[in-house]
């Protein structure tokens, strides 16, 4: 019995792990920025650009685009149907109105989906910037210029840099004994200093000075988060609008249903026009006529 | 059956717990200990010690440079790392010895307080 339980557990555990993985894959329609590490070093304005281009490549962007087209088609259809109304007969009007209500219902559904997707996009963007913000805060704490470790590490770098030339002189006589790292170190150090000088003299470097300092970078990222939050607030208002639109469509549908019922009652009344045979006084003639 | 479960659990735990532990400070400390071992080894000749020390110094120099220039080391530094940078002279022995123009062994002896003067003073105090 115990063996069976153990075997079952061995089957269930990988199975449940597989289900978890499949669930994770099911959310692959979402947008997950793929460039976190690279982006962290970029100035915020470039960061935003790269994030947007990453979004444009995502499946969510494609879905948003498709949804936009669907919504546009729905609106075109509603406008077209509305244009038929003035020249339509009474029964045609009912049918057109019915079609308009159906299209409006679809429009609301699609619009709701679109707003959800937009919200998803904004939330992902917000999460991303918050993560970067957290990283900057974390690193600025660890790389605090006033911390003892930071001072010690900087001193170590300076002392080592001063000794680079002396080390090269001292070890020049036994070059064959030098390691591969040792030989590459000098070449790479020279290349790094050349690149650093090029970065320093680059015209774009002075432009992005504002975003270099952790505090400035944090401020810029805070601004992005603030903008995203305002966009989310606007979306919430749009969602409210959609709920009102849904109410109006429901009321229109009720109105149409009543009109249809009215016509039916009219036609029913027409069938028995003149005399109501459910009343005995009206049926007197039937009985009294010889 | 139980043996199979134990084995599979062990493999599973091994798989999830495997990660690259490449703290440069640990490698440096290991190499430094080896170098000091050569310095203190009485069983080898002076020639042999010199030969071994030259090789070891080169490895130590590489590791010192790797440690000093490592940018990741500042992220959440361990007590070990903080202490290592606090005592530059003892941690980065090759750099210190070149800076002071003294052999590596003398630099280390001096830093831990084993100077000729100190040793002679101990003999005086014993009498």
Q: Do residues A113 and A188 make contact, with C-beta atoms less than 8 angstroms apart? A: no
Residue B106 burial (CB count, 10 A): 15
What pLDDT shows up at residue A128?
87
Nearest chain B CA: its distance from A199 CA (Å): 19
Residue B105, in any domain of the structure: yes
Domains identified in chain B, total number: 1
Nearest to A153 among B55, B64, B74 (CB): B74
Q: Do residues A41 and A214 make contact, with C-beta atoms less than 8 angstroms apart? A: no
Residue B112, in any domain of the structure: yes
Residue B12, in any domain of the structure: no
What pLDDT shows up at residue A223?
86
Residue B85 in contact with partner chain A when CB distance is under 8 A: yes
Contact yes or no for B88 and A167 at CB 8 A:
no
Contact yes or no for A156 and B85 at CB 8 A:
yes
Report the complex ipTM: 0.74
Contact yes or no for B74 and A149 at CB 8 A:
yes
Give pLDDT tens digits for A182-197: 888 888 888 888 888 8
Alpha carbon distances (Å) from A99 to A110, A262, B36, B52: 16, 19, 90, 92
Higher pLDDT pick, A35 / A235: A235
Contact yes or no for B76 and A142 at CB 8 A:
yes
Give pLDDT tens digits for A26-71: 344 578 887 766 566 677 777 788 888 888 888 899 999 999 899 9
Higher pLDDT pick, A157 / A1: A157
Dig out the tokens for A201 from the structure. Answer: 């003299």
Highest mean pLDDT among A50-54, A96-100, A166-170, A181-185: A96-100
Nearest to B77 among A149, A174, A182 (CB): A149
Q: Give the pLDDT band of residue B90 (cuts 50, 70, 90).
A: very high
Quote the percentage of chain A above a pLDDT of 90.
15
Query: Which helix H or strand E contains A231, and what residues bound it?
Result: helix A214-271
Residues A131 and A128: their CA atoms lie apart, in Å, by: 5
Look at residue B32 and tell me whether its pLDDT is greater than 90: yes
Task: Indicate if the alpha-carbon torsion angle A173, A179, A180, A183 is positive or negative.
Answer: negative
Nearest to A163 among B55, B69, B98 (CB): B98
Average of per-residue pLDDT across A111-125: 91
Residue B68, in any domain of the structure: yes
Of A19-23, A76-80, A216-220, B87-91, the range with the lowest mean pLDDT is: A19-23
Residue B107 in contact with partner chain A when CB distance is under 8 A: no
Which residue of chain B comes nearest to A179, CA vs CA?
A: B58
DSSP A246-274: HHHHHHHHHHHHHHHHHHHHHHHHHHT-S
Which residue of chain B comes nearest to A166, CA vs CA?
A: B98
What pLDDT shows up at residue B83?
92
Residue A51 burial (CB count, 10 A): 22
Average of per-residue pLDDT across A246-275: 72
Residue A203 burial (CB count, 10 A): 6
DSSP A55-76: HHTSHHHHHHHHHHHHHHHHHH
What pLDDT shows up at residue A23?
39
Residue B79 in contact with partner chain A when CB distance is under 8 A: no
Q: Read off the DSSP letter of residue A35.
A: -
Residue B60, in any domain of the structure: yes
H helix intervals, B1-127 = 2-17, 24-40, 46-69, 79-86, 88-91, 93-99, 104-111, 116-126
What pLDDT shows up at residue A15?
46
- The structure tokens 């957290």 sit at A134
Residue B25 burial (CB count, 10 A): 20
Contact yes or no for A163 and B99 at CB 8 A:
yes
Residue B8, in any domain of the structure: no
Query: Which helix H or strand E contains A106, and what residues bound it?
Result: helix A90-142
Residue A261 burial (CB count, 10 A): 10
Average of per-residue pLDDT across A236-258: 88
Average of per-residue pLDDT across B55-75: 88
Higher pLDDT pick, B51 / B74: B51
Nearest to A182 among B1, B54, B58 (CB): B58
Q: Which residues contact B32 (CB under 8 A, 6 or more apart)?
A: B60, B91, B93
Contact yes or no for A177 and B8 at CB 8 A:
no
Q: Which residues contact A114 (CB under 8 A, 6 or more apart)?
A: A64, A67, A68, A71
Residues A166 and A256: their CA atoms lie apart, in Å, by: 94
Average of per-residue pLDDT across A228-251: 88
Range of the domain at B35: 22-126
Contact yes or no for B92 and A149 at CB 8 A:
no
Which residue of chain B comes nearest to A180, CA vs CA?
A: B62
CA B43 to the chain's CA centroid: 21
- Which of A149, A183, A214 would you mutate first to test chain B, the one with the most B CBs within 10 A? A149
Quote the percentage of chain A above a pLDDT of 70.
69
What pLDDT shows up at residue A31?
83
Nearest to A156 among B68, B77, B82 (CB): B68
Residue A180 in contact with partner chain B when CB distance is under 8 A: no
Alpha carbon distances (Å) from A233 to A227, A229, A244, B12: 10, 6, 17, 47
Q: Give the pLDDT band of residue A218 (cuts 50, 70, 90).
A: confident
Give pLDDT tens digits for A126-153: 998 888 888 877 776 666 666 788 889 9
Average of per-residue pLDDT across A195-212: 71
Quick check: pTM over 0.80? no
Residues B104 and A170: their CA atoms lie apart, in Å, by: 13
What pLDDT shows up at residue A178?
74
What pLDDT shows up at residue A38?
57
Contact yes or no for B86 and A166 at CB 8 A:
no
């Amino acid at each position: 019995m115990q063996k069976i339980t153990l075997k079952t557990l061995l089957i269930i555990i990988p199975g449940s792990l597989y289900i978890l993985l499949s669930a994770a894959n099911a959310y692959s329609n979402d947008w997950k920025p793929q460039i976190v590490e690279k982006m962290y070093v970029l100035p915020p304005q470039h960061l935003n650009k790269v994030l947007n281009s990453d979004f444009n490549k995502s499946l969510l962007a494609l879905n948003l685009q498709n949804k936009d087209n669907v919504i546009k088609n729905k609106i075109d259809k509603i406008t077209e149907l509305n244009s038929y109304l003035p020249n339509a007969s009474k029964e045609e009007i009912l049918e057109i109105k019915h079609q308009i209500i159906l299209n409006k219902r679809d429009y609301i559904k699609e619009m709701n989906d679109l707003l959800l997707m937009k919200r998803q996009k904004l939330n992902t963007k917000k999460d991303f910037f918050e993560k970067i913000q957290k990283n900057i805060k974390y690193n600025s704490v660890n790389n605090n210029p006033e911390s003892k470790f930071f001072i010690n590490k900087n001193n170590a770098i300076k002392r080592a840099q001063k000794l680079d030339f002396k080390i090269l002189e001292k070890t020049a006589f036994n070059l064959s004994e030098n390691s591969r790292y040792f030989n590459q170190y000098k070449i790479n150090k020279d290349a790094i200093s050349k690149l650093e000088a090029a970065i320093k003299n680059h015209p774009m470097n002075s432009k992005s000075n504002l975003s270099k300092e952790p505090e400035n970078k944090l401020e810029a990222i805070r601004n992005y988060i603030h903008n995203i939050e305002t966009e989310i607030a606007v979306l919430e208002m749009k969602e409210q609008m959609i709920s009102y639109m849904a109410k109006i469509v429901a009321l229109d549908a009720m109105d149409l249903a009543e009109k249809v019922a009215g016509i039916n009652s009219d036609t029913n009344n027409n069938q028995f026009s003149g005399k109501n045979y459910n009343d005995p006084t009206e049926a007197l003639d039937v009985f009294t006529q010889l | 059956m139980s043996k199979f479960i134990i084995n599979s659990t062990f493999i599973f735990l091994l798989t999830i717990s495997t990660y690259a532990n490449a703290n440069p400070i640990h490698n440096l400390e290991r190499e430094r200990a080896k170098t000091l071992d050569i310095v203190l080894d009485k069983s080898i000749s002076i020639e042999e010690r010199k030969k071994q020390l030259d090789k070891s110094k080169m490895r130590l120099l590489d590791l010192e440079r790797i440690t000093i220039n490592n940018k990741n080391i500042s992220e959440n530094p361990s007590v070990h790392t903080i202490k290592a940078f606090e005592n530059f002279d003892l941690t980065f022995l090759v750099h210190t010895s070149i800076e002071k123009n003294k052999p590596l062994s003398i630099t280390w002896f001096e830093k831990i307080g084993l100077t000729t003067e100190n040793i002679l003073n101990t003999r005086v105090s014993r009498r």
